Amino acid sequence: MIPSAKQEQVKEFWERLEDCRSGMLSIDGRAVPMSHYIDTNKRELWFLSAKDTYMAEHADGTEARYMVCNDDEGLYADISGRLTPETNPQKVDEYWNFVAASWYEDGKRDPDLQLLKLSLKDGEIWTAKGGAGFMFQVAKANVTGEKPDIGDHYEIHFG
What's 38's domain CATH number? 2.30.110.10
- Domain membership flag for residue 59: yes
Structural domain range at position 34: 7-157
Please, are residues 83 and 118 in contact by the beta-carbon 8 Å criterion?
yes
pLDDT value of position 149: 59
pLDDT value of position 144: 77
Which alpha helices (DSSP H) does 6-123 contain, by range?
Answer: 7-19, 54-58, 89-95, 98-101
Please state, in angstroms and rounded to a whole number, the distance separating the CA atoms of residues 6 and 13.
11
Q: Confidence band (pLDDT; 50, 70, 90) for 122?
A: very high
Q: Confidence band (pLDDT; 50, 70, 90) for 140?
A: low
- Domain membership flag for residue 149: yes
Tell me how many domains the chain contains. 1
Percent of the chain with pLDDT over 70: 91
Q: Confidence band (pLDDT; 50, 70, 90) for 146?
A: confident
- Domain membership flag for residue 141: yes
- Domain membership flag for residue 1: no
